[in-house]
Amino acid sequence: MPPSDALLDAVRSLAVLASELSDFQSEERASQLVGQIPDGRLNLVVAGQFKRGKSSLVNAFLGADLMPTGALPLTSVATGIHYGEEPKVEVSVRNEEHARIVPPTDLQLYVTESFNPHNRLNVERIDVTWPSERLRGIALFDTPGVGSVYEHNTVAAFAALPRADAAILVVGPEPPIGREELEYAREVVASSERLFVVLNKSDLAGESLGEVLDFTRRSLADALALDIEVISVSATRARSAQDAGGEDFEFARLMGVLRSFVADSGRATLDASLRRRATGIVERLDALTSLQLSALRMPGEERRRRREALEEALQIVDDRARPLELALDDDVSRIQLRLEDRLDRMHDRDKGPFMANSTALASIRSRAEREVRFEELLGNVVSAWRVEALALADDELRTCGAKNARLAADIERSVWKAGLEAANLDPSLISEHHLTFSPASLKLVASLVPTTGLELLIGFAIDMLPSPMRRQALTRRYSPMLERELDSAKGKLRYGIARDLDAWRRSARETMRSTIGHARSVVLGAFQERDGSDDEKWAVLALEDARRRIGAVRDSIANAATDGAAKTGKA
């Protein structure tokens, strides 16, 4: 089911055109689009809120327990699975030249929060080959769930959507579909050509299953203006039936629907998905060249006058951008204060119980065992602090990032509108740009190892005392040590909070500056002074040639649509 050569050539041509026009954002989008077409496989993304059983559904699809499952939010990295004769897992890590080849049993080390919290291993991509006939012609993507305390999982889930040609939205009965899931469903529909909705864990609904299905259908119809069938399954029940050598009726029905879709509409869906994404890039490049040509064809004096007016208009935009950066700084400062306040309250809450361990430590006869136990106690309490602080930070940064990214994208669009209006063009020519900030990589503290090892070792003389005297002496020694170490750990976390939030703030500010600055340089560059008539003539010729090539790409996309429809019998 490979895409047509004309369509692939058109997408590659877009990347070249974007590079020549110095539109690096469009170049990146085009390059990503080329990379999303591995051997013509249809990308089927499994999406949904956390704990809806997406990984369990993928396992039932494969007929094997490949993806880890559990009671807590698990998947932290999107995993692509396609057909291969032998099982193979390739883990691509940032800044590593070659992918790591690991056994399937080690997959949990890279995709779960317990082994790879907040994607600390910097995993960029996981590709799995698996010998399941159901994977013929498709690539299945298991994505992180949205809506959990792990905001980076939500970011990773949204980042997986642009590769979706079709999607399976997984919902459930407990609780039934909610507002956040419906908002996510809108994003899934906007990013894919075909949506399937699966109500998993149907066995939990009992006699209310029909009522839950009706509620889910109505909610989706109201939110999406689409009449979508909701298929109920129980992935865990299906896996149990598979292990017993049987087949679950509900799950068999879902597989039949998906098989029919791939066989009858897979090629057309893939082509339509590629065309939609490519057309968006064409429209952006078309707006860019229209702007530049319109400015170039103006008399020199008129162009200078328009540039001066544009600079005044952009000054107003700049006046909006500067407070945005300051507002971002204020938001991050408020988050830091909230985290530090939470840290103070956690310290006050846990100090008493932690200090009470001095007696228990003093009763341990071996100095080595006391030291191990001491580190364990300190590690437990600070790890709990860290988990609580990270959950709060994730929630706060999600809100802060979404708000400021939206405001920055609005400013970028205002820059483009000002440029198009200065060139007497329709400002609606520029398509909306969705800006996202890089997810926060919060560590908070690099080490929880106590600093009192030396003091523990110099207690040799105390160890020689009789048991009652030794316990009394050790209790007196441990009390200040415990307090000092808890205060030290609190200081490490406080420093880690400030360091990590500052790194995220600087990254977010740079994203805003580069996005807005790129748009600003493009629109002002269209009205730049030229060295002379020959320079302008060659610039016009180059842009006219670029527009002809953009038109040729647009025609290629349209012809590919006709060709794809003819080959599938739907012309």
Write the CB contacts of 29 (distance below 8 Å, at least 6 apart in sequence). 18, 277, 280, 281
265 burial type by CB count under 10 A (0-12 exposed, 13-18 middle, 19+ buried): middle
Q: How far is residue 536's CA from residue 246's CA, in Å, rounded to a whole number?
A: 74
pLDDT at 549: 93
Burial of 276 (0-12, 13-18, 19+ CB in 10 A): middle
One-letter amino acid at 378 equals: L
Residue 109 pLDDT > 50, yes or no? Answer: yes
Tell whether 288 is covered by a domain.
no
* Contact between residue 361 and residue 373 where contact means Cβ atoms under 8 Å apart: yes
Listed in sequence order, the residues at least 6 apart from 398 whose beta carbon sits closer than 8 Å to its beta carbon are 151, 154
CB 490, CB 351: distance < 8 Å: no
Q: Which domain does 70 fall in, by range?
A: 42-247
Banded model confidence at residue 157, pLDDT cuts 50, 70, 90: very low
- pLDDT, one tens digit per residue, over 120-137 is 777 777 888 999 989 888
83 occurs within a structural domain: yes
Please give the Cα distance from 134 to 541 (Å, whole number): 52
Mean pLDDT of the chain: 79
Q: With respect to residue 541, please indicate whether it lies within any of the assigned structural domains.
A: no
Query: Are residue 337 and residue 234 in the same domain, yes or no?
Result: no
176/67 same-domain check: yes
Q: How far apart are the C-alpha atoms of 309 and 443, rounded to whole Å?
A: 47
Contact 435, 514 (CB under 8 A): no
Alpha-carbon distances, residue 556 vs 12, 23, 285, 518, 564 (angstroms): 12, 21, 16, 29, 12
Most confident range (mean pLDDT) of 36-45, 119-128, 493-502 is 493-502
Beta bridge partners of 80: 127, 141
Same domain, 241 and 329: no
The reply to whether 328 and 202 lie within a common domain is: no
Q: Do 341 and 241 belong together in one domain? A: no
Per-position b or e across 324-362, b if 16+ CB within 10 A of its CB = bbeebeebbeebbeebbebbeebbeebbeebeebbeebb
Beta 138-142 vs 100-102: how paired, if at all?
unpaired
Q: Does 169 fall in a domain? A: yes
CB 553 within 8 A of CB 14: yes
- Whether 299 is covered by a domain: the verdict is no
Domain boundary among 191, 217, 247: 247
Dump pLDDT digits (tens) for 336-393. Answer: 999 999 999 999 999 988 888 777 776 776 777 877 888 888 888 888 888 888 778 8
**Which two three-digit tokens encode residue 209?**
């299953």
pLDDT of residue 348: 93
**pLDDT for the residue numbered 469:** 56
356 vs 3, residue with greater confidence: 356
DSSP per residue over 272-301, as a string?
HHHHHHHHHHHHHHHHHHHHHHHHHTS-HH
Of the residues 201, 218, 247, the one at which a domain ends: 247
Residue 10 forms part of a structural domain:
no
Do residues 175 and 202 touch, judged by C-beta distance below 8 A? no
Measured in whole angstroms, the distance separating CA 557 from the mean position of its chain's CA atoms is 29
State whether 423 and 516 are in the same domain. Answer: yes
DSSP classification of residue 204: G
Q: What confidence tens digit (pLDDT) does each residue in 277-329 have? A: 888 889 889 989 999 999 988 888 898 999 999 999 898 888 888 888 899 99
Is residue 378 classed exposed, middle or buried when 0-12, 13-18 and 19+ CB atoms within 10 A define those classes?
buried
Q: What is the Cα–Cα distance from 121 to 98, expressed in whole angstroms?
A: 15
C-beta atoms surrounding 437 within 10 Å: 21
Closest CA to 50 of 180, 187, 162, 194: 180
Residues 226 and 328 reside in one and the same domain: no
Measured between its terminal Cα atoms, the distance across the chain in Å is 17
> What stretches of 194-248 show up as alpha helix (H) in DSSP?
209-224, 235-243
Peptide bond into 175 cis (omega under 30): yes
Task: Indicate whether 187 pLDDT > 50.
Answer: yes
- CATH number (domain holding residue 73): 3.40.50.300
Residue with more model confidence, 471 or 56: 56
DSSP annotation of 96 reads -
Residue 475 is predicted with a pLDDT of 61
* Rounded to 5°, angle at Cα 455 from 453 and 459: 115
- Mean pLDDT to the nearest integer, 109-126: 77
Tokens representing residue 297 in the block: 């064809």
> How far is it, in rounded angstroms, from Cα 304 to Cα 308?
6
User: CB–CB of 231/197 below 8 Å?
Assistant: yes
Question: Which pLDDT score is estimated for 550?
Answer: 92
pLDDT of residue 73: 45
Q: Are both 238 and 363 inside the same structural domain?
A: no
- Are 359 and 497 within one domain? yes
352 plus 228 within the same structural domain: no
Query: 158 falls in which pLDDT band (50, 70, 90)?
Result: very low
Q: Residue 144 in contact with residue 76, Cβ under 8 Å?
A: yes
Has residue 453 been placed in a domain? yes
The pLDDT score that the predictor gives to residue 238 is: 93
Q: For residue 337, what pLDDT is reported? A: 94
How crowded is residue 323: how many other Cβ atoms within 10 Å of its Cβ? 11
Reported as a pLDDT band with limits 50, 70 and 90, residue 571 is very low
Name which residue leads in pLDDT, 532 or 323: 323
pLDDT in tens, 450-498: 544 434 444 544 555 456 655 565 566 767 878 888 888 888 888 888 8
* Model pLDDT for residues 212-257, shown as the tens digit of each residue: 999 989 988 888 888 888 999 999 999 999 999 999 999 999 999 9
Tell me phi and psi for residue 101, to 5 degrees: -100, 115
Domain contains 264: no
pLDDT for position 252: 92
Q: What is the average pLDDT across 519-523?
A: 87
Which residues have C-beta within 8 Å of that of residue 394, sequence separation ≥ 6? 149, 150, 151, 152, 440, 442
Tell me what the mean pLDDT of segment 52-59 comes to: 87
Edge to edge, the sheet with strand 88-93 lists: 100-102, 88-93, 123-130, 79-83, 138-142, 42-48, 166-171, 194-199, 230-232
The reply to whether 397 and 493 lie within a common domain is yes
The total domain count for the chain is: 2
Select from 247, 275, 305 the last residue of a domain.
247
The answer to whether residues 330 and 228 belong to one domain is: no
Position 437 confidence tier, pLDDT thresholds 50, 70, 90? low
3-state secondary structure of 174: coil
Summarize pLDDT for 66-97 with one digit per residue, the tens: 887 754 445 456 788 888 888 998 988 877 87
Band (pLDDT 50/70/90 cuts) for residue 548 is: very high
Q: Helix/strand/coil (H, E, C) string of 320-335?
A: HHHHHHHHHHHHHHHH
pTM: 0.58
